[in-house]
Amino acid sequence: MFLFFFIKKKLSYNLGKKINSKYVEFSPSISPDGKYLFFSRRSWIDKNMKEQESDIYWVSTEIFNIIKDSLSL
């Protein structure tokens, strides 16, 4: 998943290995109070990639401000 900032020019930022894994991340959603990003991750249970499981993860949206402050805008 990527975070986009629309300030003067469009900047995108990869959210990193803790969020973007070798599996499939999907369905990002921000909590109604804006404090959390929820997303799902689908991983494979077996080596043949036939059985899958999905889990829901969350991260504080404070990471958005940390990323934004680290960019040269």
C-alpha–C-alpha distance, residues 20 and 26, integer Å: 10
Alpha helices in the chain (DSSP H): 62-70
pTM: 0.69
Determine the pLDDT at residue 70: 74
CA dist 39 → 13, 19, 60 (Å): 17, 9, 12
pLDDT tens column, 7-26: 556 666 777 777 788 888 88
SS3 state at 19: coil
pLDDT tens column, 37-66: 999 988 877 777 677 788 999 989 988 887
Q: Hey, where are the domains in the chain? A: 2-70
Q: Is pLDDT above 70 for 6?
A: no
Q: Is pLDDT above 90 for 5?
A: no
- The answer to whether the CB of 28 falls within 8 A of the CB of 68 is no
